[in-house]
Structure 1
Amino acid sequence: DQWQELGCEERFEEVDRELALAASIGFNTLRILIEEQGFGVWYHDHDGFMARFERMLSVMGRHEIRAIIVLGNDCSRPKPLWKLPAPGPQPCDWGYHGGRKLSQHGSFPGAVGYTSLDDPALNPKFYQMCEELLTKYRDDDRIVFWNIWNEPGNNGRGKITAQHLQKLFELGWRIDPKQPLAADLWGGAYGAADDKNEAQKVAGACSDIVSYHSYSPLASQIDIAKRLKTLYGRPMVNTEWLARIIGCEVFDCYPFFAQNRIGCMCWGFVAGKYQTYEPWEGMWKEVERGGGQRYDLSKWFHDLFRPSLRPYDPRELDVIRNVNAQMDAERAGESVRAKIAKTRKIIAEDMWQGFRRTKFDFNGRTAWVVEPSRAPRAEMPWTWTMQWAEAFVDRTGVPDLLRQGFHHVTLEAFDLRATDEGVAQFADFQKFLVNALGFAPKADLVGMSWGGFFSVRYAAAHPANVSKIYLDAPLLNFDGFGREPSRIGPWSAVAPTNGDWSADPGMPVNQAEAIAKAGIPVLLLYGGQDQTVQPAKNCELFAARFKKAGGTIDVNQRGLFGHHPHGVDPDKTGLITGFFMR
């Protein structure tokens, strides 16, 4: 349907609408498959195909969207079902991935696919089409790269396609287009020397850039990207991804691709006749045999928009728009990372709990900022775990707040134990976040154990810098905790001569009144059986003084808990997120 004359006016109107939609969320590239379908039209209606191909590029150009052009394709059906596509009405079967009951997506396990290149009469014609397109558009800036083969070696075609793919690369090298040439790496050994897929080895050896496919969840996406970078060291584009039913989601994978400068093309955009929102046929067969328990069939497989052009999940589009805006800001030097890099050395970038994290040097200390995937809230709120930022994360509500548009930070300064010098470092860090990155002027503090000690001392010294404090089994008093340097660090040098830490004005337990009078609300969680930080000398004494001073404090005592675990069960974090968001 995409390339034939029948119905083309209606289709181009549809293309125009959908490309406008793509541009509205920040997409700038479209992967166009010619392969068997386009070849069938080129063969039967050469001039019409060429005119419509040019028209497609022109329509895309109006929306500032460029093309990735796919020529060959090994996603194919066995020879008994093969025929060269011909112009005319193109029926579809509803309810099937690929738009037909016997699709190439798992309907024929173990069978060898068949394509036009296996037909002696059509083989030279196929290369003729490729040569014509590569020659005519060799200098066309509307084309990003020539994706000359989709999944070479799929459907048992490894040895068959290897020679065809090599020949097509050689044709491309002779024409020498200015755009890169790349065939897809899509599984197994990804074209490495030990790959049993001969066609994929050709793809790995001959491609100018890495075009690869992965429908895996984030952890596997990270591993695959590292592996491909090690194998090839070339620019990378994941030309097929997004598989919600097996855990490949927009919310974490899309930010990962952006952070690592990996281009990405989600398979499917608006739900239509091809029905890529349906599971692969092979998945259904597995389910029907009693397996497939890992598949979440309540979700769409691919596609971002419904036929009405409304989103499948508006939250996904929030993420896509924001990440695209972040990368535009990156190029303009205005992203969070770019602003950090203006004055600080970037140490590393990675994914933290599914969100982009930038680690950097701050006055000789490691600091990091985690960005929300969706658009940040207008007021730019942020949470700050002051110590143990990697501990009990899913129990603290921090990931939930990131999903709500908060940023999250930490500064590693445990050695200073929030002495006056440590508090000054914290204040300098906040000044940087507010002035250089545009964060809200007041922080939401997360203080677990020692982090509670840091939080209270910081808030007492700089009450104007703090919005709210969530304290979790906080250490607030050294009395009963220990006085060895290994325990209390530099505080051991200023220990009271009589050993009575409870009377020391520097102890957070003695700063409850100051924080209460500053109007800083507190959420306090602690275990009634805590043997590490004794409640009577820490949490309970602090809470009593805080209440007496007129402060707002929500106390949650968990009678049977000890010092650990911090936080609450992951499905109950609304207690914490609600505190910070109200």
Structure 2
Amino acid sequence: MKLLKLTMGALLIGLTFQNCAKKEEKKEEATASSREIWTKEQAKEWYGKQGWLVGADFLPSTAINQLEMFQEASFDTATINRELGWAAGIGMNTMRVYLHDLLYEQDSAGFFKRLDVFLDIADKHKIKPMLVLFDSCWDPFPKLGKQRDPKPGVHNSGWVQSPGLEALKDSTQYPRLARYVNGTVAKFANDDRVLAWDIWNEPDNPNTSSYGKVELPDKVDYVLPLMKDAFTWARAANPSQPLTAGVWAGDWATPQSLKPIETASIEESDVVSFHNYDKPEDFERRIKQLQQYDRPLICTEYMSRGNGSFFEGFLPIAKKYNVGAINWGLVDGKSQTIYPWDSWKKTYTKEPDLWFHDIFRKDGTPYRQAEVDLIKSLTAAK
């Protein structure tokens, strides 16, 4: 009996070592098949084939957030088709579109099916979207199911973070986040309808004016290593499209002046992306700072009229330097981003005279015809 126990014990130990070895082999195989960060030459070659990229951060006017956009019960293809048609009509050729880890967890097959339909609609309008995987902005407590109604007069009152706070601080949930990133990128890794993958939007945003009191005080300590992992998970799918994560605040004058999360964002990115909601001269200064990395540049958020960030000030500069330009917001809708950021602190009882974001009203008429005319002239839209 003692001999039998020893034999069984040895067998179990042997099987354990075998399993560990197999796991390590699979890990090595995955690493071996993962592509490297693109060289500067590869990035420039890709960018040279795209033409000048102009678009908007897109959410259909009937959705309050990423979940409502893509959940089966509220997936509104008619509105998506109509509003992307308006974008194409002024010469836009890309959109930046947010996904969510909970959509994958809820029903990955259904999520992929709806994303495929969305990409078909966009492709029909000759629009190639940049897909955003994670986002640190606004509500840190996302929930599946019917989404809440907008708070009247409040900017992005229902937008949700991905991953939410609970998942971010719970490392036992990281394997499912890895499956989401790797699975989603792998599904569309060779899909010509997808422009690029934005790994994490404003990763260290503390949401001070909105949800600051309930945010993790050391949020960036969780986000930084997870963002690096997310780049690895995405790259393991060997995507034909570039990966990026934008820098959005801080001092970008030299590599030494960057915060660690900005350093990681730039070092891991195939193409460099950034946000700027300031004056035109600051926009141009930021472009020149980022040119030191000698990679294609895409501004993935700009245009906040209340800040002095207008199409007429920014788009000609972006075209001059061949920088992709993606402004926040296409159509006034449930996101209510025509109201400024300070609507979280200040009460607005009617539509502001000066829209903060967005280009079109819900009926398709432009907020400002002169802006639409400018965009059409710069993109040479007929």
TM tier, smaller: 0.7 to 0.9
TM-score when normalising by structure 1: 0.49
Cα distance in 1 for residues equivalent to 2:275 and 2:126:
25
Q: Give the aligned length.
A: 298
Aligned partner of 1:157 in structure 2 is 219
Cα distance in 2 for residues equivalent to 1:153 and 1:203:
11
Task: State the one-letter code of the partner of 1:269.
Answer: L
Aligned partner of 2:331 in structure 1 is 270
1:119 to 146, 167, 170: 170
Give CA deviations for 1:455-490 in whole Å, capped at 9, x if unaligned.
xxxxxxxxxxxxxxxxxxxxxxxxxxxxxxxxxxxx
Contact 2:248 2:274 in 1 (8 A): yes
Aligned partner of 2:11 in structure 1 is none
- Pairing of 1:447-458 with structure 2 (within 5 A): none
Task: State the one-letter code of the partner of 2:375.
Answer: I
Aligned partner of 1:319 in structure 2 is 374
Cα distance in 2 for residues equivalent to 1:23 and 1:271:
17
Deviation at 1:176, TM superposition (A): 2.1
- Pairing of 1:200-349 with structure 2 (within 5 A): 200-230=262-292, 232-281=293-342, 285=345, 298-325=353-380
1:191/1:162 CA distance change after superposition, 3 Å: farther
Computed over aligned residues only, the root mean square deviation of the Cα atoms, in angstroms, reads 2.3
Higher helix share: 2
Contact 1:311 1:317 in 2 (8 A): yes
Q: Which has the higher contact order (CA 8 A, sep 6+)?
A: 2
Task: State the one-letter code of the partner of 1:58.
Answer: D
Contact 1:146 1:180 in 2 (8 A): yes
Give CA deviations for 1:420-441 in whole Å, capped at 9, x if unaligned.
xxxxxxxxxxxxxxxxxxxxxx
Q: Does 1:133 align with 2:166?
A: no
Contact 1:185 1:191 in 2 (8 A): no
Contact 1:61 1:142 in 2 (8 A): yes
TM-score when normalising by structure 2: 0.73
Q: Which runs of 5+ in 2 are unaligned?
A: 1-67, 207-217
Deviation at 1:104, TM superposition (A): 8.0
Cα distance in 2 for residues equivalent to 1:259 and 1:299:
27
Deviation at 1:76, TM superposition (A): 4.2
Cα distance in 2 for residues equivalent to 1:176 and 1:7:
32
Deviation at 1:322, TM superposition (A): 0.2
- Pairing of 1:54-203 with structure 2 (within 5 A): 54-77=116-139, 82-100=140-158, 114=165, 116-155=167-206, 157-190=219-252, 193-195=255-257, 197-203=259-265
Cα distance in 2 for residues equivalent to 1:325 and 1:32:
24
1:104/1:43 CA distance change after superposition, 3 Å: closer
Cα distance in 2 for residues equivalent to 1:95 and 1:134:
36
Task: State the one-letter code of the partner of 1:235.
Answer: P
Give CA deviations for 1:525-550 in whole Å, capped at 9, x if unaligned.
xxxxxxxxxxxxxxxxxxxxxxxxxx
1:121/1:159 CA distance change after superposition, 3 Å: closer
Cα distance in 1 for residues equivalent to 2:138 and 2:308:
26
Task: State the one-letter code of the partner of 1:142.
Answer: R
Contact 2:198 2:244 in 1 (8 A): yes
SS in 2 for 1:2: helix
Cα distance in 1 for residues equivalent to 2:252 and 2:234:
22
1:205/1:115 CA distance change after superposition, 3 Å: farther
Cα distance in 2 for residues equivalent to 1:242 and 1:138:
31
Task: State the one-letter code of the partner of 1:265.
Answer: I
Deviation at 1:242, TM superposition (A): 0.4
Higher strand share: 1
Contact 1:99 1:274 in 2 (8 A): yes
1:18 to 50, 65, 83: 83
Deviation at 1:220, TM superposition (A): 0.6
Contact 1:74 1:115 in 2 (8 A): no
1:115/1:187 CA distance change after superposition, 3 Å: farther
Cα distance in 2 for residues equivalent to 1:194 and 1:279:
33
Deviation at 1:97, TM superposition (A): 0.5
Cα distance in 1 for residues equivalent to 2:253 and 2:284:
18
Task: State the one-letter code of the partner of 2:71.
Answer: Q
Cα distance in 2 for residues equivalent to 1:325 and 1:317:
12
Contact 1:190 1:204 in 2 (8 A): no
Contact 1:181 1:209 in 2 (8 A): yes
- Pairing of 1:366-385 with structure 2 (within 5 A): none
Q: Does 1:39 align with 2:101?
A: yes
